[in-house]
Amino acid sequence: MDYEAIIGLEVHAQLLTRSKIFCGCSTAFGAEPNTQTCPVCTGQPGSLPVLNVKAVEFAMKMALACHCTISSFCLFARKNYFYPDLPKGYQISQYEYPLAKDGHLEIPVDGGLKRIEIIRIHMEEDAGKLVHEGAFESSTWSLVDFNRTGVPLIEIVSGPDMRTPEEAGMYLRSLRDILRYLEICDGDMEKGSFRCDANISVRPKGQRDFGTRTELKNMNSFRHVEKALEFEMRRQMALLESGEEIVQETRLWDEDQGRTLSMRGKEEAHDYRYFPDPDLVPLEVSEAWVEDMRGTLPELPAEKRKRFVDQYGIPEYDAGILTASRSLADYYEECVRLSGEAKMVSNWIMGDLLRELKKDDQEIEECPVAPRHLASMLRMIKDGIISGKIAKTVFETMYRTGGDPEKIVKEKGLVQLTDVEEIQRVIRGVLEENAKLVEDYRKGKEQVLGFFVGQVMKATRGKANPKLVNELLRKSLSNG
Ligand SMILES: [Zn+2]
């Protein structure tokens, strides 16, 4: 039987405010444990939370970027449960009255765009962090760090609209790109500032009802999310095939074993005894405030992608890669402005530049090649001063030293050889040494031309203009 997966994602994004959501404690990452705490975020009796307006504005930005409707009235609610990293015994979250609802995102799928519904975006506080001694299974004690307690989060809940693990990965990357464009979350999955839980069920293709779903946790990278969903999809399909039942539960992704493991039965909303937090007044959001926030939105990835295709005439694929971050898009546009070569710039960035950065595990912000240097190298290729092949060498040197390509070319004597007599002299030498092949060529074995070109390029250490070499070779061979 043919099955399909039904996938919905719940994403938690840590907001980059300087202080926590209900107190003035710093949110800076990496401080000594329990040094960024106060009576409010450690839940001392009598302390009162006060809402951080910056956190609300950041959440509004994301909601607007995802085409959500922002509620004029929302409430904070207590989500009650016990865990050692939750000092109050409840988490302040939003339940019946979230900040925003009914949005959507469009993700690129199969050359087209697919719409993923966003059911809601609500605000909440993060819990603390447990540090287990040794391995989790054999650990005999744990430490708790409350520095993270009360750091603002938004939870973004998608509709059950994704049908493959790849679509889920694409949706996650799109969300992460938007958060980064807005500069409200660093989107770092490994550091835990961007986290994802996934709901997945499978059903025979054509069936309307959803199957029993499981919830997956503990996936710390985009790759893990896709792998976990892939595994879970196959596991559920195998169960259905053998006539067994799927248990509704929460499962953990175990990266080492490459499989999901049962963790606990799925809790329902009523298990948390949600109720409005009596310590916080309702949050009222005026239309004027929403419009103010809308005015602060930058050009977002989808718009930028479309503009790059229209304005620069580059393929959709290129535009997708070049707009993955605002800085990369800015870098691209600056290079095009300076060189006028939209497609050539795109090729160099997507090829050599991103490859080098990836090798060094660096971001475009740390790129040692200045846009004006890349642009001036491209001009030299266009003017025939260096060949495309030599440009590779020049680029490598530029990347290593951050140097000016014109100086590099001069110092290393890399100027392209375009002197006809000089090239003809080399050609004569090559043809004399390979008299047998010359004869073959003249008998009609034209493929040896490539060999001759290679020999001439070698003799000139790659500096001869290849087009010229081709031309002159053909002439010499037919004159013989
Ligand atoms: Zn605090």
Average pLDDT, the chain: 91
* 23 CA → ligand 1 middle, Å: 5
pLDDT in tens, 402-444: 889 888 888 877 777 777 888 888 898 998 888 888 888 888 8
Percentage of residues in the chain having pLDDT higher than 90: 58
Q: Which two tokens stand for residue 291?
A: 């419009």
Alpha helices, DSSP H, located in 120-220: 165-182
Q: Which two tokens stand for residue 40?
A: 């409010």
Q: pLDDT at position 57, please?
A: 97
* 192 CA → ligand 1 middle, Å: 20
DSSP 229-282: HHHHHHHHHHHHHTTPPPP-EEEEEETTTTEEEEEEEPPPGGGG--EE-TTSPP
pLDDT in tens, 289-340: 999 999 999 999 989 999 999 999 999 889 989 998 899 999 999 999 999 8
Residue 93's DSSP bridge partners are 77
* 17 CA → ligand 1 middle, Å: 13
pLDDT in tens, 342-356: 999 999 999 999 999
327 and 367 Cβ atoms separated by less than 8 Å: no
Q: pLDDT at position 480, please?
A: 55
pLDDT in tens, 126-161: 999 988 888 777 888 999 999 999 999 999 999 999
> Which of 142-156, 251-265, 367-381 has the lowest average pLDDT?
251-265
* 35 CA → ligand 1 middle, Å: 10
Q: pLDDT at position 370, please?
A: 92
Nearest to 299 by CA among 348, 333, 349: 333
* 21 CA → ligand 1 middle, Å: 9
Is residue 366 pLDDT above 90, yes or no? no
Nearest to 390 by CA among 421, 422, 416, 419: 416
How many angstroms separate the CA atoms of 195 and 416, rounded?
52
Residues 6+ apart with CB under 8 A from 348: 374, 378, 395
* 94 CA → ligand 1 middle, Å: 20
- What pTM value is reported for the model? 0.81
* 18 CA → ligand 1 middle, Å: 12
* 12 CA → ligand 1 middle, Å: 20
Most confidently predicted of 23-37, 99-113, 129-143, 420-434: 23-37
Q: Which of residues 110 and 224 earns the better pLDDT score? A: 224
Percentage of residues in the chain having pLDDT higher than 70: 99
Nearest to 126 by CA among 266, 20, 262: 20
Nearest to 304 by CA among 174, 187, 115, 114: 174
Nearest to 236 by CA among 271, 200, 264: 200
How many angstroms separate the CA atoms of 388 and 391, rounded?
5
* 27 CA → ligand 1 middle, Å: 9
For residue 464, what are the CA distances in angstroms to 106, 113, 470? Answer: 49, 46, 10
